[in-house]
Structures are given as C-alpha cells and as structure tokens.
Amino acid sequence: MLPAAGEPAAGDSWGMLACLCAVLWHLPAVPALNRTGDPGPGPSIQKTYDLTRYLEHQLRSLAGTYLNYLGPPFNEPDFNPPRLGAETLPRATVNLEVWRSLNDRLRLTQNYEAYSHLLCYLRGLNRQAATAELRRSLAHFCTSLQGLLGSIAGVMAALGYPLPQPLPGTEPTWTPGPAHSDFLQKMDDFWLLKELQTWLWRSAKDFNRLKKKMQPPAAAVTLHLEAHGF
C-alpha cells in the first residue's frame, strides 16, 4: 500500500518513522478500511436491488393469474394495446439519455413516488378481485411492494435525501367514474400490471447503477493515504 520511497538517506529515517506514525494515525479515517463504523448505504442498496428482482419474479406469476382472470385479449402474450385511460399511472419508460442524466436523489425520488402510487392502485385492484385466491396473491404482493417502498425510503435516508411529501388531496384512487366502462377498467388493470413490471425492471437498473456508484474504487484509498501521510 505504501509508495516506494527509494533509498532513504540517514537523516530521513526519522522522517520515515514520523510518516509511519502519521499513516497509522490516519488509518482509521479511511472509509474503505473503517470496518467498525457506519457501513453506509451500500448494503441497503444491494438489498433493495435484490428485492426488486424478487418482486419481478413474483409479479410474473401474479400477472399471469390476473390477466387470465380478465380473459382474452388481455392474457394474450402479444397483446399490446394503446394506453387508453390509465393516464394517472406513473410511467416507467423514459428516454435513455434522460435516465442517465438523473441524479441519485431524483432517481430515488421517482422510484419512491412511482411505487407509492402503484401500491395504492394495486390495493384498489385487490378490493375488486372476485376470487379469494386472487385476493390472497394480490395482498401478498402488496405487502412485498410495501417492503420495497420502505427499503427505498431507507436508502434515501442513508444518503440524506428527504422523502417526497405527497400533496394533500392528491392521493391516487382507483375508483373509475361512471363513464369508465368495464373494458377500460380491464385495460387499466392490464396497464397497471404492465407499468409495475416495467418499473421493477427500471428499478433494478437504477439500483444496480447506484450500487456501482457507491462502491469506491481501491485506488482512491491509495491516494487518500498519500495525501495524509506525506
């Protein structure tokens, strides 16, 4: 770890000793080596990433069941309807450049807001489900999604970002108006599941990116030592 100092002169031996002492003195301040202190947001980001992957898997099974319950064409694999209605659903798709340019805080805030809304819609879906089996699956998924939301909130707190406050009266509801036909309702359900899937995929990417960003490279430690020691 220490840089090679060449052949030291006789008078430099005291200097070397002083350096060593200084290095030892500053060693606890190196974050990468500080095993006893706060581990930082790294582990919680990893956990959130893992959770998104798990939810992706869970949603695949749930969506299959639910779309079968809606019937064709919603359960057809190539069914790709235009987004009629469902305008209030948070969109996961975003321009790649825009996505790349997002800072950590905005990235996390968007995730948090999206899942808050999606969770609320999903609970509305659960209330309308006719079969007990479906209600049970939806309730289980809602609990998992609630966990993801808490996990994102934990990451934001670890990074020192405030949680977005929902504006009063803008609580999203899943109560279609009288003009909302059953077919459009089914379309909304379809889009809810589709957006949820896309959001989970996007979140996995988001947290992967965040995870990599939060891992400091080993070279940085060397530089740090140099700066303090000499």
Give the footprint of another protein on this chain (CB under 8 A): 69-74, 76, 81-82, 84, 128, 130, 181-183, 186-187
Nearer to another protein, 34 or 68 (CB): 68
Q: Tell me the closest approach of the beta carbon of residue 192 to another protein, in angstroms.
A: 15
Nearer to another protein, 36 or 93 (CB): 93
Q: Tell me the closest approach of the beta carbon of residue 194 to another protein, in angstroms.
A: 14
Q: Tell me the closest approach of the beta carbon of residue 196 to another protein, in angstroms.
A: 20
Nearer to another protein, 64 or 71 (CB): 71
In the block, residue with structure tokens 């980001």? 45
Sign of the Cα pseudo-torsion (64, 67, 72, 75, in order): negative
Q: Tell me the closest approach of the beta carbon of residue 159 to another protein, in angstroms.
A: 41
User: 187 with 81: CB under 8 angstroms?
Assistant: yes
Nearer to another protein, 64 or 166 (CB): 64
Quote the CA–CA distance of 89 and 57 in Å, as a whole number.
21
Burial of residue 228, with CB atoms counted within 10 A of its CB: 0-12 exposed, 13-18 middle, 19 or more buried: middle
Nearer to another protein, 183 or 230 (CB): 183
Q: Tell me the closest approach of the beta carbon of residue 77 to another protein, in angstroms.
A: 12
Amino acid letter, residue 118: L
Residue 99: which residues within 8 A CB-CB, separation 6 or more? 202
Q: Tell me the closest approach of the beta carbon of residue 221 to another protein, in angstroms.
A: 55
Nearer to another protein, 124 or 154 (CB): 124
- Which residue from 133, 137, 138 is spatially nearest to 123, judged by alpha carbons? 138
Distances (CA, A) of 9 to 6, 119, 230: 9, 69, 16
Measured in whole angstroms, the distance separating CA 112 from the mean position of its chain's CA atoms is 8
